[in-house]
Structures are given as structure tokens and as C-alpha cells.
Amino acid sequence: MRRSAAIIAVLIMLLTVSSCANSEKTAEFFAMDTYMSVKAYGGGDAVDEAEALVFELERKLSITDGLSEISAVNEAGSAQVSQETAELVASALGLCELSGGALDISVYPVTRAWGFTAGEYRVPQEAELEKLLRLVDYTKVKVSGDTVSLGEGMLIDLGAVAKGYAGDRVTELLRSHGVKSAIINLGGNVQCLGRKPDGSRWKIGVQDPAGSGYVGVIEAEDEAVITSGGYERFFVEDGKTYWHIIDPSDGRPADSGLISVTVVGKSGLACDGLSTALFVMGKEKAAGLWRENGGFEAAFVTENGDIIITEGLSGRFTTSGGRKVSEVIRRDEN
């Protein structure tokens, strides 16, 4: 009698443990100016910790929070920051260099003049842009130990990489709680941990930049899938659309022929920085950067509606709604 009761107790315990391991928990919140969700299978309260972590990162990195570490750097031109922020600025500078300045974290005086920070949109005069562009030069941003310093009058903004970095940190945190399967959506920046609980790969939709719905679906596993699109933040004046991704070479919204770039790879930080950079560079230069560096794959949508993918996405990118891939960029140029 006592023995069977003990067996039943053990069985109940085992069932509880296994259902906990697979139980799904989601946190949904608004941070970094966008809707976010973290869905994890197992890991108990890990998603709540993940939410807290994203808010903590926002407090450090936000340019609209006057008390953030980045604001301290911008106000004084030089400030001591946490080791984490110093390392993130250094990594971002590495991506600025890799992209030949298509990504430039010091483009902030220009994006601010267009009103993209405050949401008070305006088209700056040519002379104003010329003056502000003199302040844009990421090579004058220095990281020395925990101190970040800028050239005279310069301002930095990590907006192009912060969500990707946050995705990396959240993934790391969930993994440290034993989570084997999770999907993190930080405002269209998707990061997945492992595979779906049923063992299949995650299917991540690539939004149609010219309408609603998806242009296609990418299958992913333990990867970030990050899109930069002209549709994400823009305004229309006199029939012309102006979006929030700025070409640091002329201070105007990037006009490279692309309307969205999705980058797939292991590092959310790198994918985020690269999606912005490749959007500015345009297809040809982007293909060159991909051939020379690798370590990531990309899908482009052009203003003509063409869908172009790098060859590593062949077989795991499925177009939707009767669309077709127009071109596959190959490592070997012919």
C-alpha cells in the first residue's frame, strides 16, 4: 500500500516536472519604441527576467532617455560607461568599418534633424544637412577602457544595433535557464533559440515592405532573422516618402533601390547592424560585402518588387503569394 502510494507520488512528480519543462510562457511588452514578445518553452520565470533585461538595456542605451549612458556621452562628449556599453559601442564601430561607413553610429545629428527621433518630421534644407554631415564620422568615436569619447559636436545613436544586441542577451539569458526552445520578437527583429518544441525549424515571415502579409518565409534554428525596411518608420511630404534609414554619405534617406533587407546569422548584433548597412549600400555593394565576409545570409526586396537572396538561403526561403525569387546571389560571381 505504502509502496504503491510512493510510486504514484513519484509518477505525479515526474509528470509535473515534464509538463513544466515543456510549458510555454510568453512576455509581451513595449520597449525600445516597439512591441516585443519573448516566448519560451520551459525555463519558468525566465521570460520575466528577459523582459526586465530589455528594459535595463533600454535605460542604458536609449538616446531619448536623458539619464542613459549614451545620453551622458552625447551631453559631455566623453563619459565613463558600463563595460557592457563600451563593448557594444566598440562592436558597433567594427560594423561601421566593415560596411565602409554605410552604417555610422554618429549619423544621429542628421536623423534628429529629419525628426525621426522625436517623431516631428521635416525635410531639412540642403545647407543644414551639409553642416550636420561635418559632424558625422564614426572614426572619431573612441572607446578607451570604459570611456567613450566623441569628436567636437558629435552625437551617437545605437538604434541600428540595440535591438539585435538585446536579442543576443535575451537568448543567452534563456539558455542559461535551461530553455531549449524560444522565439524572441523585438519589433520585427526575430531571434530563435533551438527549434520548435515539435523538432521542426522555426518559420519566420519576411514582411512585405510594399503591402501587408509576407513576401516569404525563412526556416531558422538558433539564429537571428533581422529586417530593416523603409516601411518601418517614414513620413510622406509632397507625395514623396522619406524613411528613417539615412545614407551617411549625403544625409538623406537611403535611396539604393532596396526597400527591405533581411539578414540571417548567429549574432543578432551583427545581423541588425548589417541589415541597416546593406539597406544603405544597395544590392551590388551588399553582394560584395557578403562575398568577402560571409557568416550571414541575406534576402533583399527591391523597389521593383524583385526578391533576391544569397545562395545560403536557397532551400530554406519559401516565397508566399505566388511570388518568385528573381535572383540568387552566388559566392562565385558567374
219 or 272: CB nearest Mg ion: 272
- Residue 306, CA distances (Å) to 213, 238, 258, 298, 325 in order: 16, 27, 9, 14, 7
70 vs 86, beta carbon nearer ligand ADP: 70
Q: Applying CB under 5 A, does 272 fall inside the site for Mg ion?
A: yes
In terms of Cα–Cα distance, which of 275, 101, 316, 257 is closest to 189?
275
Q: How far is the CB of 276 from Mg ion (least distance, A)?
A: 4
Residue 157 touches which member of ligand ADP, Mg ion, none, C-beta under 5-8 Å by kind: ligand ADP
Q: Say whether residue 160 binds Mg ion (CB under 5 A).
A: yes
Residue 167 phi, psi (nearest 5): -60, -40
Residues 203-232 that bind ligand ADP (CB under 6 A): 228, 232
Query: In whole angstroms, how far apart are CA 174 and each of 46, 51, 168, 179, 191?
Result: 6, 11, 10, 5, 12
Minimal distance, residue 293 CB to Mg ion, in Å = 17
Angle, helices 46-61 vs 69-76, to 10°: value is: 10
Sign of CA dihedral 147, 51, 192, 262: negative
Question: Which of 168, 219, 272, 297 is in the footprint of ligand ADP by CB under 6 A?
Answer: 272
Q: Which does 105 bind (CB under 5 to 8 A by kind): ligand ADP, Mg ion, none?
A: ligand ADP
Q: How far apart are CA 35 and CA 184, in angstroms?
A: 11
CB-wise, 222 or 232, nearer to ligand ADP?
232
Asked if 234 and 133 touch (Cβ cutoff 8 Å), the reply is no
> Nearest approach, Cβ of 261 to ligand ADP (angstroms)?
8
Our finding on whether 308 is near Mg ion (CB under 5 A) is: no
Contact code string over 91-120 relative to ligand ADP, x by CB under 6 A = ------------xxx-x---x----x----
Give the three-state DSSP class for 35: strand
Minimum CB distance to ligand ADP smaller for 243 or for 290: 243
Q: Answer whether 184's CB lies under 8 Å from 191's CB.
A: yes
106: partner contacted, choices Mg ion, ligand ADP, none (Cβ within 5-8 A by kind): none
- 10 Å Cβ neighbour count for 15? 10
275 counts as binding Mg ion under rule CB under 5 A? yes
Binding to ligand ADP by residue 280, rule CB under 6 A?
A: yes
CA angle 71, 52, 141 (to 5 degrees): 25
Residue 17: CB atoms within 10 A of its CB come to 9
Other Cβ atoms closer than 10 A to 140? 13
Considering the complex, what minimum distance in angstroms separates the CB of residue 85 from ligand ADP? Answer: 16
> Residue 296 in contact with residue 264, Cβ under 8 Å?
yes
Report in angstroms how near the CB of residue 50 gets to ligand ADP at its nearest.
Answer: 19
Q: Closest separation between CB of residue 282 and ligand ADP, Å?
A: 13
Query: Which of 276, 282, 289, 296 contacts Mg ion by CB under 5 A?
Result: 276
Identity of the residue, 105 or 155, whose beta carbon is nearer to ligand ADP in the bound complex: 105
Beta-carbon contacts of 201 under 8 Å, excluding residues fewer than 6 positions away, are 195, 219, 220, 221, 316
Taking the complex as a whole, how short is the minimal distance between the CB of residue 190 and ligand ADP, in angstroms? 11
Q: Under rule CB under 6 A, which residues in 288-327 are in contact with ligand ADP?
A: none
Amino acid at 309: I
Closest CB to ligand ADP among 119 and 145? 119
Residue closest to Mg ion when measured from CB atoms: 276
Q: Residue numbers of the site for ligand ADP (CB under 6 A)?
A: 103-105, 107, 111, 116, 157, 159-160, 228, 232-233, 244-246, 248, 272, 275-276, 280
